[in-house]
Amino acid sequence: MTPLEELRHSASHILATALLRIYPDAKLDIGPPTDTGFYYDIDLDHKLTAEDLARIEAEMKKVADENQPFLRREVSREEAADIIRSRGQERYKLGRLGDIPEGEKISFYQNGEFMDLCAGTHVRYSSKLKAFKLLSIAGAYHRGDEKNKQLQRIYGTAFPTREELARYLEQLEQAKHRDHRKLGRDLRLFVIDEDVGQGLILWTPNGAIIRQELQDFISAELRKQGYSQVFTPHIGKLELYKISGHFPYYKASQFTPVVENESLAKILQEGCSCADMVVRLDAVSSHLAAQVNERTGRETITPDRVLPDDRLLDGFMLKPMNCPHHIKIYSSQPHSYRDLPVRLAEFGTVYRWEQSGELNGMTRVRGFTQDDAHLFCTEDQVAQELLGCLALVKIVLTTLGMSDYRVRVGLRDPDSNKYTGQKENWDKAEAACREAAKTLGVSFTEEPGEAAFYGPKIDFVVKDVIGREWQLGTVQVDYNLPIRFDLTYSGADNQPHRPVMIHRAPFGSMERFCGVLIEHFGGDFPVWLSPEQVRLVPISEKTLDYGNELLALLKAAGVRATVDAHNDKLGAKIRRAEVEKVPYALVLGGKEAEARSVSVRSRARGDEGTVPFDQFLAKVLEEIRLKSLSVKKPPAGAGPA
């Protein structure tokens, strides 16, 4: 553990110590550190409230002040079980003890009267915990499984200093106002309807504008980089995912397959049980298994999943990935080395089965549209293609004012042999990832063991304006699928060669990316992304005609505008435009109508005075064209920096 994780994890021991003083009957599960703090999952009949949290926190303070040392004790498995039972914690802790592999050391840590099964590590004394806070209580299923009991999860955070804690709490406060679920509702950007289904985003007109603008922007950049747009359906045959290996290996994270009515009726007649049906869905035909196994040079499809053809049951899957469809487009034609790289891009919608407890607004969903593309290239082109992918990310993030980001390069675990492909290829691809990451001019870390089994990858983590980090998408090099699907191109030697695939969805999904952007901008989107760019505000009915005339001109120029024809006071109209976060409100009085001018109120800079309408139009069009970020007016008296 890092020193910060150590501090936070120790805080969860101290939390448990305090909790048991107040609720001796509480049954403890686990209390790990997280990226932003720590939690402890507990089973307690009493439903904890905010007042209870304050009480527990006060007790934690006492425990910290008692300056208890953290003492380690190694025990045998039997002793461990005895300790757990003697403390009345067998409900979850015995199971956790069972998780520890045979032969591994088993240890307890004691601080004061409390003792917990734990591998460590911890701070030396409880008094190290000076700056902490309990934040919230949430439900969490034991082992994240909905079939298990729901426990209460107490979240908290801890920092080395009070200043850092204060800064973090301030950030949390700001984050509440920026919560994309709240802003999404207030600004009518998206809805989730229980009748449609949890985790399925309905993009309402305002949100759809933002998504479309982003897609257009990304598409234009992709065209410049030589990508070809493709479209593919939302489903594919099970067989396809058996070849790719997505099914049944990732079955738990996918929607149940769709089986045709006729096949279902037929197997019902045969008296096929559900269990039998699952086996027949999962299995692969023997000739397909032989083909894949021969191509991969190993037994990737094992005999216990192979059935004779007439025992197989075929169906369709909601696609969990776009790769197999794009692969089929590639393999539909012969390719020469001169055609490569082939770059196929699609805003492709995919479906994944997430536990309902994991769902969260737009950022954790069950259906989402990836900014996906697959590049098919020669071994020698990998480095150049990675550079192109990263250049695109840089352009998009910089345009959105997210210049604070870092990348993680996922490499092989040097001690593992789970990776497919040849060592030399891996070496080259890893070096290419590292070199590409360097060109970005931002910080990057290398993470051994984080590569996919089929190739190294680059992940993007952006920091938003209030300093929170968001993991976006990824670029992955893949040696595996070209083999499984037997992809080839003919080389200069006229012989067939294997292309390398690069999967890239650098922004992850449109849902997640927009969710992050809503919070990043706090709803104050730059003009080019704003669902409504200009609000015309006639002072009274007398200038309504002038308003409608300008509306027609704005619309003809491609500016998204409306007229506020309500019958209320000017102040109310201006406030409405502000609440709805419209970048420009143009106040139209008699004088303005006569002079064909507008009185400009900017969301970012306040009153900007009266200017001829044509001048305003030219300025706003330029701002849209340049995708300018909203620049706030410097405070009065501020000199040059």
Site residues (CB under 5 A) for Zn ion? 118, 323, 503
- Between 347 and 616, name the residue whose CB sits nearer to Zn ion: 347
Comparison of 153 and 573: residue with beta carbon closer to Zn ion: 153
Q: Which residues contact 584 (CB under 8 A, 6 or more apart)?
A: 527, 533, 534, 535, 600, 601, 602, 603, 616, 620
Q: Is 370 a catalytic residue?
A: yes
Residue 641 CB partners (closer than 8 Å, separation 6+)? none
Q: Tell the smallest beta-carbon distance from residue 585 to Zn ion (Å).
A: 45
Q: Which of 352, 463, 576, 619 is catalytic?
A: 352
Provide the 3-class DSSP secondary structure of residue 236.
strand
Closer to Zn ion by CB, 457 or 581: give it: 457
Per-position DSSP letters for 51-99, written without gaps between them: HHHHHHHHHHHHHHHTTPBPEEEEE-HHHHHHHHHHTT-HHHHHHHHHH
Closest separation between CB of residue 120 and Zn ion, Å?
6
The reply to whether 607 belongs to the active site is no
Active site residue 457: yes
By beta-carbon proximity to Zn ion, the closer residue of 110 and 263 is 110
Catalytic residue flag (residue 142): no
Tell me, yes or no, if 246 is annotated catalytic: no
Helix then strand then coil, in percent of the chain rounded to 5, is 40, 25, 35
Q: Beta strand pairing status for 606-612 and 597-602? A: antiparallel
Q: How far is the CB of 8 from Zn ion (least distance, A)?
A: 11
Closest distance of CB 369 from Zn ion, Å: 14
Residues forming a β-bridge with 125? 69
372 is catalytic: yes
Contacts of 530 (CB under 8 A, 6+ apart): 560, 581, 582, 583
374, 408, 535, 601: the catalytic one is: 374
Given the residues 9, 52, 246, 323, the one annotated as active site: 323
Round to whole Å and give the CA distance between 283 and 239.
9
Residue 329: CB minimum distance to Zn ion, A: 13
CB closer to Zn ion, 60 vs 624 = 60
Q: Name the strand (E) or helix (H) holding 350.
A: strand 342-351
Q: What is the CA radius of gyration of the chain?
A: 29
Query: Which of residues 335 and 503 has its CB atom nearest to Zn ion in the complex?
Result: 503
Opening angle at CA 144, ends 142 and 150, nearest 5: 45
DSSP 598-628: EEEEETTTEEEEEEEHHHHHHHHHHHHHTTP
Residue 506 CB, nearest distance to Zn ion (Å)? 12
Q: How far is the CB of 13 from Zn ion (least distance, A)?
A: 5
Q: Which is nearer to Zn ion, 118 or 458 (CB)?
A: 118
Judged by DSSP in three states, 280 sits in helix
326 is catalytic: no
Strand ranges across the sheet with 71-75: 71-75, 106-111, 114-117
| Catalytic member of 122, 178, 180, 457 | 457
Catalytic residues: 323, 352, 370, 372, 374, 457, 503
